[in-house]
Amino acid sequence: MIDSEYRILAEQYTPMIHHMLKKLAIYKHKEEFIQIGLISIWEAHQNYKEEKGRFSSYLYMHMKGRLLDELKRRSKEEQRIVYPEEAFWETVASAFTFTDEEQYIQTLCKSLTKKEAKWVIYTFIQQLTISEIAAKEHVSKSAVKGWKKGAILKLKRLLLAAK
């Protein structure tokens, strides 16, 4: 194919590329998909035989196939990349210990009663809810709320005095 022939075809069928991108809801990496569309024009022209029907129909199907293939390829690649990344972060989070923070919290708990300290540790280190703490300690939720209230008041005073 001569360069000028390709330019004419590309100019003529560029609206088809944009139509196809819109129809397939391709909004990410649009420029790359436009390039795939332009390449498919060249490929279709090279492989076209008149017995296959009208060129525009042949091109439409060829272009749609190429774009769908690329979407599938990217989807597979994205799945392959994303899941190990999520698993990695879950592993890191479970292996990572907040020793400095835990030590700081333990230091703060020295100025609290035993029950208030339990509330702080259960809430901020073990991430338990009031209901879970009550069940674990075999007390009522209102008792745990009392520990919470006392701990918050003392910690506020302690932290404001430290400023």
Give dist(CA 114, CA 77) in Å, integer: 53
Same domain, yes or no, for 105 and 85?
no
C-alpha to C-alpha distances, 46 to 5, 50, 55, nearest whole angstrom: 12, 12, 11
Same domain, yes or no, for 9 and 87?
yes
Give dist(CA 21, CA 94) in Å, integer: 42
Give per-residue pLDDT as tens, 90-134. Answer: 655 555 555 677 888 888 888 899 999 999 999 988 899 999 999
Residue 83, pLDDT above cutoff 60 = no
**pLDDT for the residue numbered 163:** 64
Rounded mean pLDDT, 60-74:
94
Give per-residue pLDDT as tens, 1-32. Answer: 677 888 999 999 999 999 999 999 998 889 99
Domain boundary at 67, 95, 123, which? 95
The CATH number for 42's domain is 1.10.1740
The CATH number for 103's domain is 1.10.10.10
CB 118 within 8 A of CB 147: yes
- pTM summary value: 0.49
Same domain, yes or no, for 73 and 24?
yes
Which structural domain range is residue 113 located in? 99-162
Residue 35, pLDDT above cutoff 90 = yes
Most confident of 50-54, 93-97, 100-104, 143-147: 143-147
Q: Quick one: what percent of the chain has pLDDT higher than 90?
A: 53
CB within 8 Å of 128: residues ≥ 6 apart: 122, 136
| N-to-C CA span, the chain | 78
Same domain, yes or no, for 109 and 42?
no
Beta strands in the chain (DSSP E): none
